Structure 1
Amino acid sequence: MNIVYPEVFWLLIPVALLLLPAALNYRKGYILLLKLAGEWRKVKTTQVYMIKTLIYWMTIILFFVFSILALAGISWTKEAVRDDSTGLDIIFAVDISRSMLAADITADRLSRSGELISSLNSGFSRTRMGLVIFKGDGEVLVPLTDDRYIMETAVRSLSPSLYTVPGSDISRGITKAAGSFPEGSPAKKLIILITDGEALDGNAEDAARECYLQDISLFVVGAGTEEGSLIYNSDGSIVSDSLDQAVVTKLDRSHLSDIVESASGNYYDISDVKTAGMIIEDIKSLQEGSGAEGIRLQDQMNYRLFLFIALTFLVLNLASSRIRWSRWY
């Protein structure tokens, strides 16, 4: 199941707050009804009033709840659609912030990232590839090209010194990569994001969701370990924070999982020796689509079901307001 707009669930909070005026309204009406009905009709009158009030407020609250579910863009089924795409374009979005120099995996995170890109660069000779680097902002280092030598040269030069923008914003890297694909191209689009998941700014989940909406596939490769490592300056000293405490950088797997979920993508661990092979197989599957020529599977938004249920509760609410409840008093 995929949820395109999970932020709309915040609207459930004001809906829940409707329970307060509902309770106050019921109490006020109950007291007034007792005064008008008298003791001899007390039991029957209050029972009918309780049923009437319950139906009214439950239907209006459920109308709002299912309307919000319709807005959330929930999908749990796939549909076959015509696929006119030909070829595949791949953009690597690589985090080059200083934390990527941590040596909690063999060599360091950035060197291992370069090795992974090199292995994929040589594995798809007829696929165009490009390279985006990012820190607090994103920058295209290599536009889409089928020249493997240019890509390999750029990969060997990966370093935090390539880009002097401070900060760490994964969303900028994803957005820059998504904007690097040529408009109107019939090729399928894939972003391979390589990062440790540590971000000081931006909302990477929103950027990943935009990729999903633009039909751009997203593979996320986590670099580092959850145990983490110290970071060293170029002079060998340990990087410290404003309190002069040594900075320990850790793989934020939870954050990366949220990014993957937002884009309905795939996650890989760069420290796993099988990662390169798994990515190659998944890229081949992406190229092949569903296995039927000209056909691919895409998520089907199921908002119609929730919208139908919401409208049903609205009709029930309006109908309950027109019923002459006094006949049962």
Structure 2
Amino acid sequence: MGIERPYAFVFLLLLIPIAVYSIYSFKRATSFLGKMYRETSFSAGNDFSKFKKAILWRTIFRLAACVMVIFAFAGISWGVKPVPLQKSGDAVSFVFDISYSMTATDCPDGLSRLEAASAYANGLLERMGGTEVSVVLAKGDGVIALPLTQDVSAVKSLLENLSPSLMTSAGSSIGKGIQAAIQSFPTNCSHNPHIWVFTDGDETDSNLVRALEDAGKFAFPVTLIGFGQPNPVEITAGDGKTKVKTSLRADKMIDAAAFVNQKKLSVPSGLINRPYITYIAADSDGSALTLLKEVSSKVSNVESTEFLPVSRHGIFLFFALLFFVLSYFAGEFDIHFFRNKKFTSLSMVFVLAGLLSSCRSGRGTVLRGIWDWHQKEYQKATGQFLRTYTDAKIEENLSLQQYAAFNLASTYIMQEEYEAALQRLNQIEGSDDAKLKSAACYNIGIIKNRQGHYDEASEYFKKAILLDNSNIDAKINLEFSVQLAQSRSAQSAETEMTATSIDNKDNTLSDQVFTLIQQEEREQWKKLQSNRRESSAIDY
């Protein structure tokens, strides 16, 4: 179970004074009304007793409704659901164990484990064909030394200088390295993620299994690559004096992988066809080939599935509504009409429940995708639009299919997945909607401009204007692209342009429901810093 906003439970404390005041008011009211009943001719003890119960239950139901609203706001979730995502290419996080145990010289040709890991990773890097790579260093802590990049020379430069002296944190924590690797992938990353851990399996904090479970929650495949020999080798610890023995802990890593893969059986069956956690001995035949197949067997754009927590706020909102309606007819103490009022209240519940369930239509899916898009949750938005596109294709609803394709392209543009965006925009060429075609041409112009093809961008902006002469953004960016084509100055080239939004006022499907593209700023990487601690005898 997960809680998105745990601070919401603070509001439960506000219900305490409300409950106290309600009890106080209830006692005063019943005391006064009891005296009135005794002094009048219509004193009916049975009716008065029912009245008190009705008021009490009304208070309880309304407090329960408030509690349900707070639970809904807290974002409680449990279970997982498959979400369709379009992945483009691969991204790999290299996690290097640089603890002192990796200085043991028990690898072929007299290399230390760390030197062998560096050479092994260099060999992989040369055959990965432009795959984005990040580098994480793991010792007593985990640090992202290099965020995702295609700069091979920067990665190789770091690999040449791997050493335990790069970090002063004591001990060995492979788990913290894996957790840092998870953080190295952007929240809205549209690549297929992989985590490759170069280690001997020797750790001091026993955090490996927990970190592998965290990776499993995000469906991030992790491969543990073992270096060294099972026979103990004596090394000098971080204090420069203490002698300790270390060996390859292959059995430990194999058991950890098996344990975590077994827990993944709780995920819906049929959705996972391979273990997410694997172990490979670096000196085994074909180990490098196995790793390279992970990043070379996929086509450039594939539809895949990711498991996300299932938010249960709808259940709590339903119970909040139910408790509120129950408080309505519970407070009706007119016994003669009680049953009729009860029937009316329950009818309200079923009508509202029907309205909530109607959001599962194609239009509701698009609306949810637009909401996710504006919340910058682009993976969720992609899933909603993919679902709409697939349903529209099955139903042969060409109009909805073209708008879903446009929305997908808009989402890809925000993630800088330009090739995937162009594929979707090309599907709109046959549209009869001039505004939609104009918006598609405009967005192609945006892509070409960001790629530095200013002449092509100008041509697409011209097409957008010819299709819709009210497209002011296209006119402005046409002049801008012409200026860039002429000057190509560095200062002008750094100016960002944004994609257009469709003013779909005449679209019968939904008024302006596909208005998507607005000015967005690029998110920047935040570097993580490790807590620096002095080395000690346990630093190995």
Q: Provide the TM-score with structure 1 as the length reference.
A: 0.59
Is 1:171 paired with 2:181?
no
Q: Which amino acid aligns with 2:84?
A: R
- In structure 2, the residue matched to 1:255 is 252
- Runs of 4+ deviating beyond 6 Å: none
Is 1:277 paired with 2:274?
no
Decide which of 77, 85, 88 is 2:87's aligned counterpart: 85
1:54-65, aligned counterparts within 5 Å? none
Q: Which amino acid aligns with 2:131?
A: T
Relative to structure 1, the CA distance from residue 159 to residue 295 in structure 2 (aligned partners, 3 Å threshold; closer, same or farther) is closer
Larger strand fraction of residues: 1
Q: Deviation at 1:80?
A: 8.9
SS at match of 2:87: coil
Identity %: 27
Contact preservation (8 Å) 1:218, 1:260: no
Contact preservation (8 Å) 2:223, 2:278: yes
Greater mean deviation of Cα atoms: 226-235 or 151-160: 226-235
Q: Which amino acid aligns with 2:168?
A: T
Q: Deviation at 1:105?
A: 1.1
How far does the alpha carbon of each residue in 1:20-43 deviate from its partner, in whole angstroms, 9 at most, with x for none?
xxxxxxxxxxxxxxxxxxxxxxxx
Contact preservation (8 Å) 1:231, 1:248: yes
Q: Which runs of 5+ in 1 are unaligned?
A: 1-72, 74-78, 241-245, 299-329
Q: Deviation at 1:204?
A: 1.0
Q: Deviation at 1:248?
A: 1.4
Decide which of 223, 228, 236 is 1:224's aligned counterpart: 228
**Aligned equivalents of 1:87 and 1:123: distance in 2?**
15
Q: Which runs of 5+ in 2 are unaligned?
A: 1-78, 262-275, 308-540
Q: Deviation at 1:295?
A: 4.6
SS at match of 1:200: coil
Contact preservation (8 Å) 1:93, 1:193: yes
1:98-113, aligned counterparts within 5 Å? 98-106=100-108, 107-113=111-117
- In structure 2, the residue matched to 1:209 is 213
Q: Deviation at 1:183?
A: 1.2
Greater mean deviation of Cα atoms: 112-121 or 265-274: 265-274
**Aligned equivalents of 2:155 and 2:143: distance in 1?**
15
Q: Which amino acid aligns with 2:90?
A: L
Q: Deviation at 1:278?
A: 2.0
Structure number with greater Rg is 2
1:111-260, aligned counterparts within 5 Å? 111-232=115-236, 240=242, 246-260=243-257
Contact preservation (8 Å) 1:208, 1:218: yes
Larger helix fraction of residues: 2
SS at match of 1:231: strand
Q: Which amino acid aligns with 1:254?
A: D
SS at match of 1:280: helix
SS at match of 2:193: strand
Contact preservation (8 Å) 2:219, 2:306: no
Looking at both structures, which has the greater relative contact order when contacts are Cα pairs under 8 Å and sequence separation is at least 6? Answer: 1
Relative to structure 1, the CA distance from residue 297 to residue 136 in structure 2 (aligned partners, 3 Å threshold; closer, same or farther) is closer
Q: Deviation at 1:96?
A: 0.2
Q: Deviation at 1:82?
A: 3.4
**Aligned equivalents of 1:297 and 1:146: distance in 2?**
24
Relative to structure 1, the CA distance from residue 86 to residue 293 in structure 2 (aligned partners, 3 Å threshold; closer, same or farther) is closer
Q: Provide the TM-score with structure 2 as the length reference.
A: 0.37
**Aligned equivalents of 2:295 and 2:281: distance in 1?**
16
Q: Deviation at 1:293?
A: 4.7
Is 1:294 paired with 2:303?
yes
SS at match of 2:221: strand
Q: Deviation at 1:282?
A: 3.2
SS at match of 1:186: coil
Q: Deviation at 1:219?
A: 0.9
How far does the alpha carbon of each residue in 1:276-320 deviate from its partner, in whole angstroms, 9 at most, with x for none?
2221123334x359xx9525698xxxxxxxxxxxxxxxxxxxxxx
- In structure 2, the residue matched to 1:97 is 99
RMSD after superposition: 2.9
How far does the alpha carbon of each residue in 1:76-95 deviate from its partner, in whole angstroms, 9 at most, with x for none?
xxx99734111111101110
Number of residue equivalences = 213
